[in-house]
Structure 1
Amino acid sequence: MSLLELDDLSVTYRIASGEVPAVRGVSLTLDSGAALGVAGESGSGKSTLAMALLRLLPRDARVGGRILLGGEDIAAMKWGRLRAVRWAEASIVFQGAQHGLNPVRRIGEQIAEPILVHGLAKPDAAEKRVAELLGQVGLPAWRARSYPHELSGGQRQRVMIAMALACSPKLIIADEPTTALDVMVQAQVLTLIKDLVAEHDISLIMISHDLSVLADVCDRLGVMYAGRLVELGPSQEVFHDAKHPYSRALAAAFPTVGDPVSRLAPKGLGGDPPDPMDLPTGCPFHPRCPIALEECSTLDVKLWPAGDDRAAACVHVRAKEEAS
């Protein structure tokens, strides 16, 4: 049985001027010990998807479909059960560690809090657990006495990872955990996450706009556009041989290290993502797509098979499958 299953998940925000469909019909599974990357531009729905997994969305969000964690329906959980699941079975690493930590509490207290709240240890044992966790993320035990402002950005992000590991969860959701860090520190934090997930056999969902980051850390990769999955498959294959034109554009948007041509003339993607309240008909990507066909503006695309363990929501993929 899969650790996590999303079945036709949808999230709609209710605002004064109408409804905003942020996630539309996403279905996927995550096995125990596996790592899934979710990529897309800002506004593609990836962070909303992450928040929905632990019912962290605001009150104006309406969620449809099913989210099963270990076979349990997240939407059907009573508050007490949901509280027990958060941290202990699934935890989240937010994008901005500076805003995720309480500035007037020492970091050791903040790491120990979920351990004590879930009754996993007495105060003395929790203190030892904090020292152990800090060691796992490459920080000395004495840093437990520090306040967040006394740490660098990379150190604060390591503290957030230690907090996520505190209760030994089965799943960690990392929402753009390295966006605010410089390149060298980003590489260190990514290596840390990769090693910890492998060492503790934890399942991982990592959210990012950077396909190269996800391809390095994750086994599988899903690409989102306008709230939908437009491609899904093994991460290296999606990164190096994308089947959807949007995935190819994302991969090409980042210059290749050591290649002055790509650095001086990076390939971008023209136009902007569509307004979720005014989505184009047919494939939502067709107004920006360099290979769009006439039928792309009318056909309701879906994920079609695109090779072994791969799928893409593109009429060119469907045409190749039908031809073969």
Structure 2
Amino acid sequence: MTTAPLLDIKDLNVTYGTGAAAVRGVDLTLAAGQKLGIAGESGCGKSTLALALLRLLPAGAKLSGEILLDGEDVLTMKWGRLRAVRWAGASIVFQGAMHSLNAVRRIGDQIAEPMLIHRTAPPSGVRKKVAVLLEHVGLPASRADSYPHELSGGQRQRVMIAMALACDPKLIVADEPTTALDVMIQAQILRLIEQLVAEQNVGLIMISHDLAVLADTCDRLAVMYAGRVVEQGPAAQVYESALHPYAKALSAAFPRIGDPASRHAPRGLAGDPPDPSDLPPGCTFHPRCPVALDRCAVEDQALRGEEERRAACVHV
């Protein structure tokens, strides 16, 4: 008997009012307890994909396809059902905790709010649950009375994780959760997220531009470019031996410890991702691709390869 995935994204497309195609034909699946990393430069559609999962995009955005969360299509949910699913079914850890937290409310009240709205804990027991959540993410219960500005960057990010766990969701989406943190705090937050996913058997989608972080944290990895997934497979394989030229460039852009060649001369990629409202014909990566063929300028490329390891490139 095959178990249905926790999250099943089928042919997801997101277009903004300007005509910008931010997400194009994305297919992804995630099982309970699995960690999926999504990588790419700024402007490749990662955050748009994350916001689309709970229909948090601006009113002008048009979505098509399916986002099946535990078998229910998020895109067809009525407003009341969608409100019930947010926080309780799936939650998001946004990048930049200081901008996501309310500066004039105490930490404990902000963690308690989703529990009170969704009634996942009795009012008399919310304060105790807040204390448990804070201790679970490595903060003393006394921090519940603090304001966001009284906490360090790493502590605020821990508060965001506690909020994401408040209603015991089945899925957590972490959008660049460690971008603004120093490397020591970043390592602590990543280990914390891994531990919580393992203990509570929740699904995790982690979004980052850093393939090294995702390879170290996630089971599988999907690389996005110009709104599409151009490579996906086991995280370590994609990082160490990428098939798509764009994924190779992302991997090579970060120096590897113990490799003097990459440390002294990290390789990057010239240019920027294309404007979503003015995509080039053929393979959208061909203007920047070091191994492009003439046919790449006129032929679009679909994912090909084995079921566990696929890339959208003529060379695969």
1:111-260 map, 5 Å: 111-260=111-260
Alignment TM-score, normalising by the size of structure 1: 0.95
How far residue 294 of structure 1 moved from its aligned partner, in angstroms, is 1.0
CA distance in 2, matches of 1:259, 1:124: 56
CA distance in 1, matches of 2:307, 2:276: 32
How far residue 188 of structure 1 moved from its aligned partner, in angstroms, is 0.6
Runs of 4+ in 1 over 3 A off after TM superposition: 258-261
CA distance in 1, matches of 2:138, 2:293: 52
Structure 2: runs of 5 or more not aligned: none
Residue 55 (structure 1) aligned with residue 58 (structure 2): no
CA distance in 1, matches of 2:244, 2:261: 24
What's the secondary structure of 2:5's corresponding residue?
A: coil
CA distance in 2, matches of 1:28, 1:123: 38
Q: How many residues align?
A: 313
What's the CA shift string for 1:136-161, capped at 9, x where partnerless? 10000000010000000000000000
* RMSD between aligned residues: 1.0
CA distance in 1, matches of 2:217, 2:51: 21
How far residue 308 of structure 1 moved from its aligned partner, in angstroms, is 5.7
- Matched to 1:108, the amino acid is G
What's the secondary structure of 2:243's corresponding residue?
A: coil
CA distance in 2, matches of 1:57, 1:271: 28
How far residue 259 of structure 1 moved from its aligned partner, in angstroms, is 4.0
CA distance in 1, matches of 2:220, 2:248: 16
User: Does 268-277 or 226-235 show the bigger shift?
Assistant: 268-277
How far residue 260 of structure 1 moved from its aligned partner, in angstroms, is 4.4
Alignment TM-score, normalising by the size of structure 2: 0.97
Residue matched to 1:320: none
CA distance in 1, matches of 2:166, 2:260: 43
Q: Quick one: percent identity of the two aligned structures?
A: 69
CA distance in 1, matches of 2:196, 2:174: 13
Residue matched to 1:5: 8
How far residue 186 of structure 1 moved from its aligned partner, in angstroms, is 0.6
CA distance in 2, matches of 1:140, 1:310: 43
Residue 316 (structure 1) aligned with residue 285 (structure 2): no
How far residue 264 of structure 1 moved from its aligned partner, in angstroms, is 2.8
CA distance in 1, matches of 2:247, 2:256: 16
What's the CA shift string for 1:199-228, capped at 9, x where partnerless? 110100000000011111111000000000
CA distance in 2, matches of 1:196, 1:42: 28
How far residue 167 of structure 1 moved from its aligned partner, in angstroms, is 0.5
| Contact 2:67-2:74 within 8 A present in 1 as well | yes
- Matched to 2:56, the amino acid is L
What's the CA shift string for 1:52-106, capped at 9, x where partnerless? 0000000110001111111111111111110110000100000010011000110
CA distance in 2, matches of 1:313, 1:203: 26
| Contact 2:33-2:198 within 8 A present in 1 as well | yes
What's the CA shift string for 1:95-131, capped at 9, x where partnerless? 0100110001100000011111111222331111111
1:93-112 map, 5 Å: 93-112=93-112
| Contact 2:20-2:278 within 8 A present in 1 as well | no
CA distance in 2, matches of 1:86, 1:277: 30
What's the CA shift string for 1:168-187, capped at 9, x where partnerless? 10000000000011111111
User: Does 255-264 or 291-300 show the bigger shift?
Assistant: 255-264
CA distance in 1, matches of 2:43, 2:229: 13
Residue 291 (structure 1) aligned with residue 294 (structure 2): no
- Matched to 1:106, the amino acid is R
How far residue 272 of structure 1 moved from its aligned partner, in angstroms, is 1.4
Residue matched to 1:322: none
Structure 1: runs of 5 or more not aligned: 318-324
CA distance in 2, matches of 1:272, 1:158: 33
What's the secondary structure of 1:44's corresponding residue?
A: coil
How far residue 257 of structure 1 moved from its aligned partner, in angstroms, is 2.7
| Contact 2:284-2:300 within 8 A present in 1 as well | no
CA distance in 1, matches of 2:215, 2:34: 13
Residue matched to 2:76: 76
